[in-house]
Amino acid sequence: MTTPKSDLPQGTLDLLILRIVALGPIHGYAIAQRLQQVSKDVVQVQQGSLYPALHRLENRKLLAATWKSSDTGRDAKFYRLTSRGRAQLEEETANWERLAEGIRLILRIAQGDLP
């Protein structure tokens, strides 16, 4: 069963990852799963861009990572949000919502709304 998928706008992947990780320490595969689940399959991350994004965020000290044992018995790399990451997340979320609101207003504009 296919659902209409949307292409992820530029730069938003980082924001989404931060939001997911904010919920609690999580490893890369689970992030991909959760993104798909939560967005009801709309957001499907290209596997090839997830990990570069994770490493970029780790580089910028927005995420911190540790190796812990996971449910499969093997060790996995768990990411968690840093305080800097949390601040970035809040800022970016506010920006995004402002932008989304603005776009929504323009899109719903009807003929009669114009002055």
Q: Helix and strand tally (H, E) in the chain?
A: 4, 3
Stretch that binds other proteins, among 24-32, 34-42, 81-89, 91-99 (CB under 8 A): 24-32
Q: Which of 20, 17, 22, 25 is nearest to 78 (CA)?
A: 25
Stretch that binds other proteins, among 8-16, 43-51, 89-97, 106-114 (CB under 8 A): 43-51
Instruction: Assess 47 for contact with other proteins (CB under 8 A).
Output: yes
CB of 38 to other proteins, least distance (A): 17
- Sign for the CA dihedral angle at 12, 14, 15, 21 comes to positive
**Residues whose CB falls within 8 Å of the CB of residue 49, separated by 6 or more in sequence, listed in order:** 13
Instruction: Assess 66 for contact with other proteins (CB under 8 A).
Output: no
Nearer to other proteins among residue 4 and residue 48 (C-beta): 48
CA distances from 61 to 3, 58, 84, 89, 96 (A): 35, 5, 7, 13, 21
Return the residue of 29, 42, 68, 94 that touches other proteins, per CB under 8 A: 29
Task: Give contact residues for other proteins (rule: CB under 8 A).
Answer: 27-29, 32, 46-48, 51-52, 55-56, 59, 67, 72, 74-77
